[in-house]
Amino acid sequence: MSKLILSLDGGGIRGAATTQFLTHVEKALQSTYQKSLRDCVDFYAGTSTGSLIALALATTDMDMQAINQLYSYGNAKKIFIKNRGLFEVDGINAPKYEAKGKTVTLKKYLGNARIKDVPEGKHILAVTYGIEKRRPYVIKSTEDEFQNLLSYQVADASSAAPTYFPTQDMKLPPDNEQGWLIDGGVIANNPTMCAIAEACRLWPESPRRVLSVGTGTRTRKINGPESQQWGALQWMLKGCIIDVLSDEKVVGYQAITISPQGSYIRVNAEMRPQPGFDKAPDDAMDDISQTNIKRLKGMGDFWFSRYGDAVIELLNDNYDGPSLDRIDPNNGMPVEYHLE
């Protein structure tokens, strides 16, 4: 029997598009096949905001509608609380946002859930990065040493984006030593290849299907000639260096190339108007205005209108079409990938 991987990218508040899309998917699964999203997924993977969604699905009993409500204007205001230190310039010489609001909100919704709470036979991974040891941490249920880690703490670490939120400290196995962790997006904003590697190790004889969901692709132009004169400050302010480092396209290329025909769907689109989608959201990871959250959820609606039927059949192991990649902004339809 084939195994289904659900991989969810990072992107801050742009995760609202992901949860809106998956809420539609779950409703369709229930009405067509009397199944929940959880019934169809064998391996969950998430980075940053994607880790929150993945951990909620894998280690709690929240349904997609409840998870979607996490990405409301009210919750966003509690998470993105501006850092108001006296001589601090947000994002320049101090994190743009305080840590407390995010931590409290994650704990409220994920509660006392732990990595070990993933159902038997299923697995979860979340990506973060340890700055002192200069190494990635792929926190996963396949390793006994991670079983007792609290889900909200893992999500908090995986979403501690540099310049936006403070570094998170967490006691890590095997020695229970203090680690200082930042957003996994700096190394694997799209965790699909991490999940594929784990699935190959766990189930070497089983075919795999992959549903990989992004949070929208940024299209703002970075000034090439001007960048020749930039130092660290300009790269942060003008070059959006965090977004450059967290680009997900290479992983997308790797994943679709190694996946058998018809076994992979990548849900994503450029964040600009295109056929079928007139009101594009702001591409910032922290634009939490009510208008932008509404537009992000509108992007999730757009994705379902374009990918919904194929995704439902992929989840139910009935899909017989080509692998699908991101939406082509010229025609508003997913790019079909055919192996040569």
Q: In sequence order, which residues have a C-beta less than 8 Å from that of residue 309 and are 6 or more positions away?
A: none
- 37: closest CA among 47, 20, 51, 23? 23
Among this protein's residues, is 212 annotated catalytic? no
Please enumerate, as own/partner, the contacts of 192-197 that have beta carbons within 8 Å and a separation of 24 or more.
192/5, 192/7, 192/45, 192/251, 192/252, 192/255, 193/251, 193/254, 193/255, 194/45, 194/125, 194/127, 194/138, 195/5, 195/7, 195/43, 195/44, 195/45, 195/125, 196/5, 196/255, 196/258, 196/259
Which token pair is 48? 């940053």
Among this protein's residues, is 328 annotated catalytic? no
Catalytic member of 7, 48, 158, 159 = 48
Q: Give the count of alpha carbons within 13 A of 281, CB side only.
A: 30
Catalytic member of 156, 183, 282, 325 = 183
Question: Which residue numbers are catalytic?
Answer: 48, 183
